[in-house]
Each structure stands twice: as C-alpha cells, then as structure tokens.
Structure 1
Amino acid sequence: MNTENPGSDAPGCLTGAARAVALVVVLPVRLLWDALAFCLRQLWRWILAPIGRALAWLAHHLLVVPLRWLWEWVLAPIGRALARLAHHLLVVPLRWLWEWVLLPVARAVWWLVDLLLVTPLTWLWRYVLGPVCRVAGAALAWAWRIAGQILGAVGRAVRRTLWNLVGRPLAWTYRVLLTPLGHALRAWVWEPLAVVGRAVGAAAREVRAALFGGAR
C-alpha cells in the first residue's frame, strides 16, 4: 500500500513555477541591461574615448604648446629684458643718486646744522643759559622765601599795631566802662523797671478781674 502524502510535491511545483515566472520577468530586464552596457562600452570605446583623446590632443597642441612656446620664447625673454632695463634704468641710477648725491648732501646738511645750530645751542645752554637759569631759579626761590618771611613779619607787626591801636582800647573800654555801666543800668534801671512792670501787670489783672470777673 502507498503511504506517501500526495501533497508533498506541492512546494516543489510552487518553487518551479516561481522560478519560471521570475525568469520570464528578469530575462528581458537583464537582456536590456546587458545590451545597454554593451552599447555604452562600445560608445565609450569607439566614440567618446577617441573624441576625448582628440580633444586632449587638440587642447595640448592648440593651447598648451603655443602658450608654453609663447612663455618660453616671448613673455619670459620680454620679462627678463624689462627687469634688466628697469635695473639699469631705475635701480642703478637711483642707487648712484642716493650714494653719490642725496646721502652726501644729507650728511653735509646735517654737518652744517650741527655746526651752525646744534653745537652753538648746546654750548649756549651748557655755559650760559643753564647756569643763568639755575642762578635765577635759586635767586627766585630765595626771594620767595625771604618775601614770605617779610610778609609774615609785616603781618605780625600789623596785627600787633591794630591790637594796640584798636583792640586794646576797645577791650579796656568794654572791661572798664561798658561792663560796669551795664551792671549799673541793670541794677538801677532795668530791675526797677521790671519790678514796676510786674506791679502794673498785676494791678491790671486785678482791675480786669474786678470789672469783668475772674476765671474760676
């Protein structure tokens, strides 16, 4: 008796069917991809690469070579010639002018300035103006100090004179005359007047109380 499962061949059939469908779908795509890749390789090999090499050759022979030749045989010699001309027409004359004209003239001018101005002024300051300024400064400092002492003495004399002429008589007058007079006026005038005033005030209060009645 056959004991095998009849459905055991189903997965194998499904796998074969899936592979067949995938092959049918992928085969045209792979064919198209291979054809495109082949065409691109042939296009690069027989068209683009030769055109690129031709353009590079043309650029090299039409640009690089002429420009290199122009630089080596025209621009560089012209630059060297111009540099040589500038050196001989500008640098050398200017150097000669500086070394043999301007520098000696500057040295001569400085020598004249030093001889006619700096040295006399230095000598004048060292032997005339400096000592005179020092002596004058010392004299002014001494005069300032002496003037301060004189003004101090004059101030003290003026204060003493004013005290003897004005202050001392006023102090004596206040102490000897005005103070006793004030004490006498206070004892003989102000105090009696104050007593009379207090008595008059008391009498006036009594009259007002008698006439109008006093406050309880």
Structure 2
Amino acid sequence: MDLEKPPQRQPGEGCLTVAIRLPVRIVVLVLVVPVRMVWDALVVGGRLLRDTVLRPVGRVLAWVAWAVFVWPWVTLWRYVLVPLGRGLAWLGRVLVVVPAVWAYRNVLTPAGRGIAWVLRAIGAGLGWVLRGIGAGLGWVYARVLTPVGHAVLWLLKGIGYVLAVLGTGVYAVVAWLVRHLVVVPAVWLYTYVLTPVGHGIAWLAAGLMWLVRVIFTGIGAALYWTVRLLLVLPALTLWRWILAPVGRVLVVVGREIGEALGHAWRVAGHISLAVGRFLGTLFRWIFVEPVRWVYRTVLTPLGHFVRDTVLRPAAEAARSVGRITRQALAAARETARQARADFRRMLFGDPREPETISRGEPTAGDTRTLGSSTTALTKD
C-alpha cells in the first residue's frame, strides 16, 4: 500500500517583508504607469514611422544608390571595359603571341637544335680527351703512387709502435707520482681535518637555526594574538551584529522593489493596453466610421453613377473612334498599295511569267501506268 507524501509547507514570510511589500508596490505602480504608457506610445510611433517612412525612404535610397553608384560601374564594365579588354586581348594575340609562336617554331627551335648538336659534338670530343687523361692518371696511380704509399704506411706504423711504448712508460711514472704526491695527502686531509671541522660547523649551524626558529615562533604567536584581538574580533563582531542584519534588510527591500517593478510593469502594460484600445475605439467611432459611412453611402453610389453615365459611354465612344480610325487607315494603306501596283504596271508592264523547263519527265496525261510502257519495244 502506497503512502501519500504529505504536502510540503511553503516557508513563511517575515513580518518585515509583508510590511514593506504593499507600500512599495503602490509607490512603484504610481511611478511606472506613466513610464509604461509613454514607452508603449513610443513603440507604436516607432513602428508606424518605420512602416510608413523609413522603409519607403530606405528603398528609394537603395534604388538611388544603385542607380548612382552601382549601375554606372556595371555599365562601364559591361559595355566599355569588357569590349576593350577583348580588343586588347585580340591585339595582343595578333601582335605578340602569334609572332612569338612563329619565331619559336621557325627560328628558335631550329637554332636550338643546331646548338644542341654542336654541344653534343663538343661534349663527345671532350669525353674522349678526358678518358685518355684518366687512363694515364690510372697508370701513374697503379705503377707509382701505390708502392710509394705502401712504403710510407709501413714507416709510419713503426714510428707509432715506438711512440706507444714510450707513452706507456711515461704514463705509468706520472700516475705513480700523482698518486703518492697529490691523492694520498688529499684523502688524509679530508678524512682527519676537513670532516671533523665540517661536523662542528654543521652542529653550530643547527643550534643557531633552532634558536632563530624559537625566537621567530614567539614573535609570530605574539603578532597573531595581537592582530586577532585588535582587528579580527572587532571586524567579526561588526560583520555579525551590524552588517549582516543591515544586509539582510537591504536584500529584502531590493527583492521587493524588483518584484514590485516587474508586477507594476505588467499591470502598467495591461492599463496601457486598455487605454490604447479605448483611444482606438474612440478614434474609430469619431473618424473612421463617419468616413466609412460617407464612402459607402455617398461616394460609392456617386462613383457608380459617374462610371455608368459618363465613363462607360466615353470609353465606348473612344473604342468606336479607334476602330473607325484603324479601318480608315487600313483602307488607305490598301488603296496606296493598289495605286503603286497600277503605276508600276503602267511604267514597266506586267511581270513575265516564269518559263517552265522540261526535265524529261512525262506529263500528267503521259504518266506511266501498270498497263503501259514508254519504251520503244513495248509501245503499241
């Protein structure tokens, strides 16, 4: 069996909050209502100005800017620069590219091939000469330089062996002297002199550090309690018993003022909407409805009467005049055409009929059929 959870209790509000809320909201509402109505009026005026003035003016300015700044450059590019560039490209092709291609094909290519053939011949001759020189140098290296080098290498090996023996003996003597004259005295000095002195200095430094630490620990404790008693405890008392309660009161007042502003702004919006609707209804009954009644009951019948009695007969008369004028112009054109034809016939006579040329084909009466033939052997 499921147990229902008990409803959670809302935290109660203090008496200070309840005492501050109502007067703050009344004062804020009185101050905010005129501001909200002015704000709504400005918003409506701004939207009307944007829709009736700024947008048409912006479109006109955009069209003017396009006509003044963009269209001349487009026209200049399309009808001046592009044809001029094409003409210059054609001239460059005719005057530069075509002669250069012709010179490359008919002059530079044969000249380059000739120069390449000459260079190949020179290279072949130089290669033959260098191969001869290389063969001579190889013979000198194999027959002269190699034996001399072997002899010099054998001599250097003997000298190196002698020097190695002498160096080994000298190194042993020097090492024995350094060990007994430098290393042994230094080890004795470090072990029996420097080590006891260093231990004594380290003990003395440790005692001094302990003394300094004790002194600074006492000074730090004295400063800590002095600062705590003179600064921290008074500041903590001031924060706990004065600043914190005043801050809580200011937080409550600020929160209530913020909530009152939001509530007053919403209420002022409803009031402004009601006032706006009332003014709109008043404007409609004072101005719009009379104008609409005049348009429906006076101007519309008068316009229909003018249309039926004046405009339509005038339009029919204009169309009739137009038809008669077109017919008269057509008759005049036909008459002028006939007069020109008669005048030309009177001066030059009738035009000759085109002569028919026989192409050897039978006429309609002599056409071939299945029972007849045009050959001499089968003709009846």
Q: Which bin holds the TM-score, normalised by the shorter protein?
A: 0.5 to 0.7
Q: Provide the residue aligned with 1:149 in structure 2.
A: 270
Of 61, 65, 69, the residue aligned with 2:192 is 69
* 2:256 corresponding residue in structure 1: 135
How far apart are residue 118 of structure 1 and its match?
A: 5.1
- The percentage of aligned residue pairs carrying the same residue is 28
The structure with more radius of gyration: 1
Q: Which residue of 2 aligns with 1:95?
A: 217
Does 2:247 align with 1:125? yes
| 1:29-178 equivalent positions in 2, closer than 5 A | 48=172, 56=179, 58-59=181-182, 61-88=184-211, 90-101=212-223, 103-108=224-229, 109-117=231-239, 119-126=241-248, 128-178=249-299
Unmatched 5+ stretches in structure 1: 1-39
Displaced runs of 4 or more, over 4 A = 50-60
Instruction: Name whichever structure is richer in helix by fraction.
Output: 1
Q: Summarize deviations over 1:166-207 as a string: whole Å, max 9, x none.
A: 221222122222222222222111111111101111222233
Q: Quote the offset at 1:73 in angstroms.
A: 1.9
CA distance in 2: counterparts of 1:121 and 1:181, whole angstroms: 83
CA positional deviation for 1:212 = 3.6
Structure 1 position 191 matched with structure 2 position 321:
no
Across the aligned residues of Structure 1 and Structure 2, the Cα RMSD in angstroms comes to: 3.0
Question: Could you state the TM-score of these two structures normalised by the residue count of structure 1?
Answer: 0.66
Residues 110-157 of structure 1: per-residue CA shift (max 9 Å, x gap): 11211234541101122x213322332332232122111101111111
Task: Give 3-state SS (helix, strand or coil) of 1:213's partner.
Answer: helix
Question: How far, CA to CA, are the matches of 2:320 and 2:313 in structure 1?
Answer: 10
Equivalent position of 1:203 in the other structure: 324
Taking a change above 3 Å as real, the CA distance of residues 177 and 51 of structure 1, as seen in their structure-2 partners, is same
Taking structure 2 as the reference length, what is the TM-score of the superposition? 0.40
1:57 CA drift (Å): 5.3
CA change 1:122–1:199 in 2 (3 A) is: same
Larger RCO (CA under 8 A, 6+ residues apart) = 2
Q: Counterpart amino acid of 1:84?
A: G
Unaligned runs of 5+ in 2: 1-164, 339-380
Count of aligned pairs between the two proteins: 170
